[in-house]
Amino acid sequence: MHDPDAEDVAKAGRGDRSAAARLIGRHTPKLLTMARRMLGSQAEAEDAVQEVFLRLWTHAGRWQPGKAKFETWLYRVALNQCYDRLRRRPTAPLEDAADVTDDAPPPDAGLDEGVLGREIARALDALPERQRAAILLCHFRELGNIEAAEIMGISVEALESLLARGRRTLRSQLAHVKDLAGDGA
Amino acid sequence: MTGDISDKVFAQQVIARLPPAAPSPGFEAALLAAYDAWNDARANGAWAAWKAGLRRFSEIVWPGAPLWAPASVLAAALLMGASLGALLPAAANAEPAGFSLEQPGSFSLLSSDLPQEDMDGRS
């Protein structure tokens, strides 16, 4: 199994700045979107991604390429960071609700897309964290069930169960949205 | 089963319509700066650990002295030892020293040139 990141991880662990820059450039956008969808807050997502990369640098020197796929390890660390941050929240704070409105796309995008994006983000936020993680790994990251289950540290059957419940809830939460009603049915 | 498949397709389409989270300006530069800081700390960490070890050793051999003082004494001692080591073997060959357990001793309890003592230890 060829791991495209293995060489860069080893080099970054030895102090190679350009290898570190390549890893950052390759993984930041998707890690950040994943963390943003899990946490519902841009600032918290950026903190989480920063922490993930710090973990990466401290472990890079000891990285053993054959043991696990780098991306699997990276997303497991990211997911654990998100879980930790979600658990540290005492209650669902008011600013989180305000933060959902930040989901609006850039001004050049259509208003409908912005409203739709907010509706979807709200429905996703309403899912239990493990169902949300399963949906993001399989539908946003487009990982296979085996890899997603490995990242979440659960069996494939458990993942499939989370996915089924998450998809069902997501669909019922968005049933009122006209633009989506006909798409998936 | 059909329902499950359509839920799957629905979820796929819904997630695809989510706008990506764009990083704040300078976020990737901040990540790289954090890497640089980690790398500097790692490099300085090894040097700092080596210096601290040397400082502890110098405090034992010469408390209160600057680091160069015990270091130069140590260097002088090493030089002196190496010089003596180079010179001494020639001197040792000239007059063999030491003894072997396999060779007979050079003295005898019966030898007449030993001082005579009686049972009370008197000469």
What average pLDDT does range B10-19 have in this prediction? 88
Q: Is the pLDDT of residue A174 over 80?
A: yes
CA of A135: which chain B residue's CA is closest? B11
What pLDDT, on the 0 to 100 scale, is given for residue B57? 74
Contact A170 B38 (CB under 8 A): no
Contact A167 B8 (CB under 8 A): yes
What pLDDT, on the 0 to 100 scale, is given for residue A93? 52
Annotate chain A with three-state secondary structure: CCCCCHHHHHHHHCCCHHHHHHHHHHHHHHHHHHHHHHHCCHHHHHHHHHHHHHHHHHHHCCCCCCCCCHHHHHHHHHHHHHHHHHHHCCCCCHHHHHHHHHHCCCCCCCHHHHHHHHHHHHHHHCCCHHHHHHHHHHHHCCCCHHHHHHHHCCCHHHHHHHHHHHHHHHHHHCCCCHHHHHHHC
Contact B36 A103 (CB under 8 A): no
B11 touches chain A (CB under 8 A): yes
Residue B70's contacts (CB-CB under 8 Å, 6 or more residues apart) are B57, B58, B61, B62
Contact B35 A33 (CB under 8 A): no
B30 touches chain A (CB under 8 A): yes
Distances in Å between the Cα of B52 and the Cα atoms of A4, A184, B64, B93, B117 are 40, 66, 14, 44, 64
Name the CA radius of gyration of chain A, rounded: 18
Q: How far apart are CA B43 and CA A60, in angstroms?
A: 15
What pLDDT, on the 0 to 100 scale, is given for residue A106? 46
pLDDT in tens, B20-36: 888 888 999 999 999 99
What average pLDDT does range A55-75 have in this prediction? 86
Confidence of residue B41 (pLDDT cuts 50, 70, 90): confident
B2 touches chain A (CB under 8 A): no
Q: Is the pLDDT of residue A71 over 80?
A: yes
What pLDDT, on the 0 to 100 scale, is given for residue B27? 93
Q: Collapsing DSSP states into helix, strand and coil, what is residue B30?
A: helix
What pLDDT, on the 0 to 100 scale, is given for residue B60? 76
Chain A CB contacts of B39 under 8 Å are 15, 17, 57
What average pLDDT does range A125-146 have in this prediction? 93
Chain B CB contacts of A50 under 8 Å are 30-31, 34
What average pLDDT does range A141-160 have in this prediction? 93
What pLDDT, on the 0 to 100 scale, is given for residue A160? 95
Q: Is the pLDDT of residue B123 over 70?
A: no
What pLDDT, on the 0 to 100 scale, is given for residue B95? 55
Q: How far apart are CA A53 and CA B36, in angstroms?
A: 12
What pLDDT, on the 0 to 100 scale, is given for residue A119? 87
Percent residues over pLDDT 70 in chain A: 83
| pTM given for the model | 0.65
- Shortest Cα distance from A80 to chain B (angstroms)? 19
Q: How far apart are CA A103 and CA A105, in angstroms?
A: 6
Write out residues 41-80 of B within 8 Å (CB-CB) of A: 42-43
Task: Say which residue, B118 or A153, is predicted with more confidence.
Answer: A153
Q: Is the pLDDT of residue A184 over 50?
A: no
Contact B35 A53 (CB under 8 A): yes
Q: Is the pLDDT of residue B118 over 90?
A: no
What does the mean pLDDT of chain A come to?
A: 84
What pLDDT, on the 0 to 100 scale, is given for residue A28? 95
CB A38 within 8 A of CB A136: yes
- Residue at token pair 């997630």: B15
Q: Which of A41-55, B37-51, B72-86 holds the top average pLDDT?
A: A41-55
- Shortest Cα distance from A36 to chain B (angstroms)? 7
What does the mean pLDDT of chain B come to?
A: 75
Q: Is the pLDDT of residue B108 over 60?
A: no
CA of A53: which chain B residue's CA is closest? B31
CB A183 within 8 A of CB B7: no
What pLDDT, on the 0 to 100 scale, is given for residue A127? 94
Chain A CB contacts of B21 under 8 Å are 32-33, 35-37, 42, 45
